[in-house]
């Protein structure tokens, strides 16, 4: 499963311009707030059947941070 593609799909519904989303995209620069992040993570957890720890959530700054953490949980 391509975690980046899955999270990108989730994020596309929350931002105005999804065409420029990359692994390096900063969550705040995309206009996402903490509630948006919780919603994205929750949808991702359900889709991928994983669970993020609270400490991990606090460390997410970019899309890549979320994807890398999710991929680590899938191994």
pLDDT in tens, 15-72: 988 888 999 999 999 999 999 999 999 999 999 999 999 999 999 999 999 999 999 9
Q: Which residues touch 22 (CB under 8 Å, ≥6 apart)?
A: 63
Annotated domain spans of the chain? 3-74
Mind listing the pLDDT tens digit for each residue in 13-24? 899 888 889 999
CA atoms within 13 A on the CB side of 52: 26
Q: Which CATH architecture does the domain made up of 3-74 adopt?
A: Orthogonal Bundle (1.10)
Calpha distance 34→32 (Å, rounded): 7
SS3 category, 30:
coil
What are the residues facing 26 on neighbouring strands?
A: 62
Q: What are phi and psi of 12, to 5 degrees?
A: -55, -30
């Amino acid at each position: 499963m391509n975690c980046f593609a899955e999270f990108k799909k989730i994020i596309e519904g929350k931002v105005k311009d999804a065409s420029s989303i990359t692994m390096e995209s900063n969550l705040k620069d995309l206009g996402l707030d903490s509630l948006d992040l919780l919603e994205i993570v929750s949808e991702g957890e359900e889709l991928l059947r994983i669970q993020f720890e609270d400490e991990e959530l606090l460390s997410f700054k970019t899309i890549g941070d979320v994807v890398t953490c999710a991929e680590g949980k899938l191994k």
